[in-house]
């Protein structure tokens, strides 16, 4: 313990302040944020009263202070486990951690505060110099144009780096936003030797950054950096798993694979010696999820340095690359998974420590964060993890594959031990069989309850259609639904409880046996422990789904019938508000956070995104700016809103919409996107118009009938195509030139009001005195609407017609918010010339 006298570490004023604050709080724990100069605490402020375990608020405030300090009322200044964990996490971003006694006389410095190296700020002139007229950009960027908005944006990002700011930056289509943030990012890396992470939502943008924009930014600035795309573990082949598969085969798992899948396993095995990165994309075909499951690295079951393949491990190689890179490209999923892991107490996340973050396509970050900061338990997750332990054949008492089988094989020459293990295994597999039966029946019952009991729409039973339902006591029939769920959910939980009990007994036995067996079962023991923890996590969700009354969580179920007629059922627990978590896990962890996108502002500015992400940070520099698109929409784009079409809820709307879509497709000889909010409506329209369109030589490309990339490739090729798409076609789709001349939005993209997360969040806003429609539904719809519109004009010479079939933009008061969000352009009647 490095206790120090308060005379050297605390100035008089701070010591007095701390003593008084603790005394006023009855001698209980208080967490302080402190400011240090030289070797002395010059000033301190109270972060929270109460236990240090209130980690979120500590982490959230940490960047504001040089160190965090709290008192141990007992006078024993040794750190608890919790202290050590928080200290490690604070150290991650340069803050110190101290423990003090109630009299402010002794301090234990658990992690010292390290004064950061002097920052070399970025110069606005230098940034502009790389992008203006007569710069090297004219030779490096084909078709370079001097764009003032791009220069302004790059300079403002430089300012955000200099001032440790959170910066919301909307950049209209065509601004050249990636180059605008990469130039200051590269200069910052060169000046300050700090790593930067760029997070994106789509693979398209990641590929564009890696293949084009980063090399261009390096050529422009002459700064060579090391950059890497980082993927989650599940993307890499685990050599340990592959080796095990080779040695053991796939046992009864083969029963669940079709001949094509068994062929895929052999093909991957043949490729293995030649793989360089072990990344899924290196496999020359797309393996089925069941096949990839045999090979992929697991998030938690990894032997790390103890693994016999450690030095060859693909994931570890990728991780080493990441740790030695200046610029990391990740996706929002990985960014949120890393943040969630650090929140849960992991001292090391998936990504190396970093204090400067650029979130591109930031309008999507709340949705991704919502899924990572929540938890779920599905029927298939249970089966998958239990199969890792032991996959049982229909009749045999012995497991045909899995860890238990390996245990048994290791006891070949030790009959007494073998007999004991056989007994454990027989008990476990017996319980597993019981579980499969009862849980299988229970899940079927839950599926039927979801489908029939609440939502009687027969379409819900169609393969692939997902049904979501919220568990809400207050809803009409909510109590009844909960009661109906009670027994089947408890049956799943009880079956799992029995299996976990059995698993714990096996682990206890192995622990004793390990000592005598000199690590004979080391690997199996480790894997079983990890699986036990996973199953305990699932058990927690199953227990909470019917019993929790926590208002901060949304409890909901989702179900769908898979194409092979199996039923997928999932229990979900989602935070009603992620803003506090985002604030502490992302904003609080980084000195600079740039959030950029072509659509961050709704009709009333940045208020919506700021509220959703908790960007109300009185102690931080928070900037916001919008840079307009350089495209001439007035000249190149027109809007048509039919006056005679019924409102979307009125009879005849779908038929009318089909008529306009048909007319547009004929008028533009295909070259049209129609964007829907409902897949059922999309199919209805397709059925109405595609036979007639075929006669005109125009083909309907329908989302879901092929994968997105192939549909887009076909659309871009020569030919007459009308593309009908829902959700994923509203954004991230880039068809330049006249191949896309018309975009039709069929309905304003309001979210489905019965969606559990949406519904619960709306109620939450109302309870807090807000207006769910104005504060949530409307701005979210406006942002999505802007995204949809943004598909049309992708280059400065692009021309196009935007057709809006939802006349609520005119008939309803709120409609003006959608129109206001669009750039100024001419409204046309029947003349669709562009």
Stretch that binds ligand SF4, among 304-312, 347-355, 562-570, 685-693 (CB under 6 A): 304-312
316 near ligand SF4, judged by CB under 6 A: yes
Element housing 180 (H / E)? helix 177-192
Is the C-alpha dihedral spanning 19, 23, 24, 29 positive or negative?
Answer: positive
- To the nearest whole angstrom, how small is the minimum distance from the Cβ of residue 243 to ligand SF4? 8
Structure tokens at 671: 């070259």
- To the nearest whole angstrom, how small is the minimum distance from the Cβ of residue 307 to ligand SF4? 3
Rounded to a whole number of angstroms, the CA Rg of the chain reads 29
- To the nearest whole angstrom, how small is the minimum distance from the Cβ of residue 471 to ligand SF4? 37
Structure tokens at 753: 């009001």
- To the nearest whole angstrom, how small is the minimum distance from the Cβ of residue 319 to ligand SF4? 10
Residue with smaller CB distance to ligand SF4, 346 or 430 = 346
- To the nearest whole angstrom, how small is the minimum distance from the Cβ of residue 89 to ligand SF4? 24
Q: At what angle do helices 55-62 and 81-92 cross, to 10 degrees?
A: 30
* Interaction mask 224-243, ligand SF4, x per CB under 6 A: --------------xxx---
Residue with smaller CB distance to ligand SF4, 319 or 468 = 319
Q: Are 277 and 231 in contact (CB under 8 A)?
A: no
Residue with smaller CB distance to ligand SF4, 236 or 640 = 236
- To the nearest whole angstrom, how small is the minimum distance from the Cβ of residue 237 to ligand SF4? 8
Residue with smaller CB distance to ligand SF4, 100 or 334 = 334
Residue with smaller CB distance to ligand SF4, 173 or 316 = 316
Element housing 378 (H / E)? strand 375-378
Burial of 266 per CB tally in 10 Å (0-12, 13-18, 19+): exposed
What's the CA gap between 95 and 700, in Å, rounded?
58
Q: Are 554 and 470 in contact (CB under 8 A)?
A: yes
Stretch that binds ligand SF4, among 114-122, 311-319, 641-649, 730-738 (CB under 6 A): 311-319
Provide DSSP, 253-278: GGGGS-HHHHHHHHHHHHHGGG-SS-
Stretch that binds ligand SF4, among 256-264, 302-310, 376-384, 696-704 (CB under 6 A): 302-310
Stretch that binds ligand SF4, among 32-40, 299-307, 688-696, 754-762 (CB under 6 A): 299-307
Q: Residues with Cβ < 8 Å from 547, sequence gap 6 or more?
A: none
Q: Which residue has the tokens 């109590």?
A: 479
Structure tokens at 496: 């799992």
Stretch that binds ligand SF4, among 26-34, 97-105, 309-317, 396-404 (CB under 6 A): 309-317
- To the nearest whole angstrom, how small is the minimum distance from the Cβ of residue 385 to ligand SF4? 17
Q: Select from 6, 67, 214, 302 the one that contacts ligand SF4 (CB under 6 A).
A: 302
- To the nearest whole angstrom, how small is the minimum distance from the Cβ of residue 281 to ligand SF4? 17
310 near ligand SF4, judged by CB under 6 A: yes
Residue with smaller CB distance to ligand SF4, 179 or 238 = 238
- To the nearest whole angstrom, how small is the minimum distance from the Cβ of residue 402 to ligand SF4? 17
Q: Select from 97, 130, 315, 388 the one that contacts ligand SF4 (CB under 6 A).
A: 315
Q: Are 535 and 500 in contact (CB under 8 A)?
A: yes
- To the nearest whole angstrom, how small is the minimum distance from the Cβ of residue 406 to ligand SF4? 15
Q: Select from 297, 351, 598, 804 the one that contacts ligand SF4 (CB under 6 A).
A: 297
Burial of 143 per CB tally in 10 Å (0-12, 13-18, 19+): exposed
What's the CA gap between 141 and 213, in Å, rounded?
10
Phi, psi at 148, each rounded to 5°: -60, -40
309 near ligand SF4, judged by CB under 6 A: yes
- To the nearest whole angstrom, how small is the minimum distance from the Cβ of residue 287 to ligand SF4? 17
32 near ligand SF4, judged by CB under 6 A: no
What's the CA gap between 234 and 388, in Å, rounded?
16
Residue with smaller CB distance to ligand SF4, 45 or 282 = 282
313 near ligand SF4, judged by CB under 6 A: yes
- To the nearest whole angstrom, how small is the minimum distance from the Cβ of residue 178 to ligand SF4? 32
What's the CA gap between 324 and 583, in Å, rounded?
27
307 near ligand SF4, judged by CB under 6 A: yes
Burial of 421 per CB tally in 10 Å (0-12, 13-18, 19+): buried
Residue with smaller CB distance to ligand SF4, 302 or 576 = 302
Size of the site for ligand SF4 (CB under 6 A): 13
- To the nearest whole angstrom, how small is the minimum distance from the Cβ of residue 306 to ligand SF4? 8
Residue with smaller CB distance to ligand SF4, 293 or 366 = 293
- To the nearest whole angstrom, how small is the minimum distance from the Cβ of residue 280 to ligand SF4? 14
Nearest to residue 323, comparing CAs of 225, 230, 438? 230
Residue with smaller CB distance to ligand SF4, 238 or 386 = 238
What's the CA gap between 482 and 477, in Å, rounded?
9
Residue with smaller CB distance to ligand SF4, 64 or 529 = 529
Residue with smaller CB distance to ligand SF4, 304 or 695 = 304
Residue with smaller CB distance to ligand SF4, 238 or 711 = 238
SS3 399: strand
Q: Select from 304, 515, 695, 813 the one that contacts ligand SF4 (CB under 6 A).
A: 304
Stretch that binds ligand SF4, among 87-95, 307-315, 360-368, 481-489 (CB under 6 A): 307-315
Between CA 361 and CA 367, with CA 364 as vertex, the angle to 5 degrees is 160
Nearest to residue 140, comparing CAs of 176, 193, 192? 176
303 near ligand SF4, judged by CB under 6 A: yes
Stretch that binds ligand SF4, among 303-311, 402-410, 502-510, 781-789 (CB under 6 A): 303-311
Stretch that binds ligand SF4, among 203-211, 313-321, 431-439, 534-542 (CB under 6 A): 313-321
Burial of 40 per CB tally in 10 Å (0-12, 13-18, 19+): middle
Residue with smaller CB distance to ligand SF4, 319 or 784 = 319
Q: Are 462 and 683 in contact (CB under 8 A)?
A: no
Q: Are 90 and 96 in contact (CB under 8 A)?
A: yes
- To the nearest whole angstrom, how small is the minimum distance from the Cβ of residue 303 to ligand SF4? 5
What's the CA gap between 164 and 488, in Å, rounded?
52
Provide DSSP, 59-128: HHHHTTSSEEEEE-TTS--PPPHHHHHHHHHHHHTT-EEEEE-TTS-EEEEEE---PPPPP-PPPHHHHH
Q: Residues with Cβ < 8 Å from 116, sequence gap 6 or more?
A: 94
- To the nearest whole angstrom, how small is the minimum distance from the Cβ of residue 279 to ligand SF4? 13
SS3 309: coil
Q: Are 521 and 407 in contact (CB under 8 A)?
A: yes
The binding site for ligand SF4 (CB under 6 A) comprises 238-240, 297, 302-304, 307, 309-310, 313, 315-316
């Amino acid at each position: 313990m490095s206790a120090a006298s308060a005379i050297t570490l605390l100035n008089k004023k701070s010591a007095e302040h701390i003593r008084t604050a603790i005394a006023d709080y009855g001698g209980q724990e208080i967490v302080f944020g402190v400011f240090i100069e030289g070797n002395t605490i010059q000033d301190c402020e109270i972060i929270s009263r109460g236990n240090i375990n209130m980690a979120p608020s500590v982490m959230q405030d940490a960047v504001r202070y040089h160190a965090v300090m709290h008192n141990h009322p007992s006078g024993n200044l040794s750190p608890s486990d919790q202290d050590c964990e928080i200290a490690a996490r604070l150290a991650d971003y340069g803050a110190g951690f101290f423990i003090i006694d109630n009299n402010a006389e002794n301090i234990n410095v658990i992690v010292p505060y390290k004064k950061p190296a002097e920052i070399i700020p970025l110069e606005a002139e230098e940034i502009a110099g790389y992008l203006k007229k007569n710069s090297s950009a004219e030779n490096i960027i084909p078709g370079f144009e001097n764009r003032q908005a791009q220069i302004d944006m790059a300079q403002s990002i430089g300012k955000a780096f200099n001032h440790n700011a959170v910066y919301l930056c909307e950049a209209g289509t065509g601004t050249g936003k990636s180059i605008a943030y990469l130039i200051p990012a590269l200069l910052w890396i060169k000046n300050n030797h700090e790593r930067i992470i760029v997070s994106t939502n789509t693979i398209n943008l990641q590929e564009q950054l890696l293949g084009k924009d980063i090399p261009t930014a390096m050529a422009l600035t002459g700064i060579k950096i090391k950059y890497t795309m980082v993927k989650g573990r599940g993307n890499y082949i685990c050599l340990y798993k592959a080796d095990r598969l080779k040695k053991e085969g796939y046992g009864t798992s083969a029963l669940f694979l079709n001949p094509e899948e068994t062929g895929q396993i052999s093909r991957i095995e043949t490729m293995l010696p030649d793989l360089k990165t072990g990344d899924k994309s290196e496999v020359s075909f797309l393996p089925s999820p069941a096949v990839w499951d045999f090979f992929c690295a697991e998030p938690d079951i990894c032997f790390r340095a103890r693994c016999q393949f450690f030095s060859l491990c693909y994931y570890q190689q990728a991780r080493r690359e990441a740790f030695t890179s200046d610029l990391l490209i990740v996706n929002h999923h990985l960014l949120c998974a890393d943040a969630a892991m650090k929140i849960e107490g992991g001292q090391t996340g998936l990504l190396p420590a970093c204090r400067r973050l650029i979130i591109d396509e930031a309008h999507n970050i709340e949705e991704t964060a919502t899924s990572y900061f929540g938890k779920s338990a599905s029927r298939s997750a249970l089966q998958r993890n239990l199969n890792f332990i032991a996959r049982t054949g229909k009749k045999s008492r012995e497991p045909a594959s899995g860890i238990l089988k390996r245990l048994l094989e290791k006891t070949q020459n030790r009959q007494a031990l073998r007999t004991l293990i056989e007994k454990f295994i027989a008990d476990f597999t017996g319980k597993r069989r019981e579980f499969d039966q009862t849980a299988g029946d229970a899940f079927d019952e839950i599926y039927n309850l979801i489908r029939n009991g609440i939502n009687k729409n027969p379409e819900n039973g169609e393969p692939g259609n997902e049904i979501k339902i919220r568990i809400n006591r207050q809803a009409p029939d909510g109590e009844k639904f909960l009661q109906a769920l009670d027994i089947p959910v408890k049956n799943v939980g009880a079956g799992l409880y029995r299996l976990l009990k059995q698993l714990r007994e096996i682990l206890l036995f192995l622990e004793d046996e390990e000592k005598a067996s000199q690590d004979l079962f080391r690997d199996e023991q480790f894997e079983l422990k990890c699986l036990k923890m996973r199953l305990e996590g699932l058990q927690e969700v199953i227990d909470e789904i019917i019993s929790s009354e926590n208002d901060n969580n949304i409890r909901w179920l989702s179900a769908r019938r898979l194409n092979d007629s199996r039923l997928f059922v999932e229990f979900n627990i989602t935070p009603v508000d992620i803003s506090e978590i985002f604030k502490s896990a992302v904003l609080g962890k980084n000195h600079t956070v740039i959030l950029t996108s072509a659509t961050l502002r709704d009709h009333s500015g940045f208020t919506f995104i700021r509220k959703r992400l908790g960007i109300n940070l009185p102690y931080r520099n928070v900037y916001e700016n919008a840079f307009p698109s350089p495209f001439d929409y007035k000249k190149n784009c027109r809007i048509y809103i039919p006056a005679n079409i019924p409102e979307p809820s009125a009879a005849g709307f779908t038929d009318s919409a089909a008529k306009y879509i048909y007319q547009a497709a004929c008028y533009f000889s295909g070259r049209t996107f129609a964007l829907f909010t409902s897949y059922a409506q999309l199919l209805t329209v397709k059925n109405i118009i595609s036979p007639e369109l075929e006669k005109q030589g125009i083909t309907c490309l329908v989302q879901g009938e092929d994968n997105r990339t192939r549909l887009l490739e076909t659309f871009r090729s020569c030919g007459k195509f009308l593309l009908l798409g829902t959700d994923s076609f509203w954004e991230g789709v880039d068809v330049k030139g006249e191949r896309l001349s018309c975009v039709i939005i069929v309905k304003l993209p309001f979210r489905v009001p019965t969606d559990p997360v949406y519904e619960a969040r709306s109620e939450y806003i109302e309870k807090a005195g807000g207006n769910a429609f104005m504060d949530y539904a409307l701005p979210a719809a406006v942002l999505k609407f802007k995204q949809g519109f943004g598909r049309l004009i992708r280059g400065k010479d692009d021309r196009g017609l935007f057709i809006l079939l939802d006349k609520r933009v005119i008939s309803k008061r709120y409609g003006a918010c959608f129109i206001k969000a669009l750039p100024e352009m001419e409204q046309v009647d029947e003349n669709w010339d562009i």
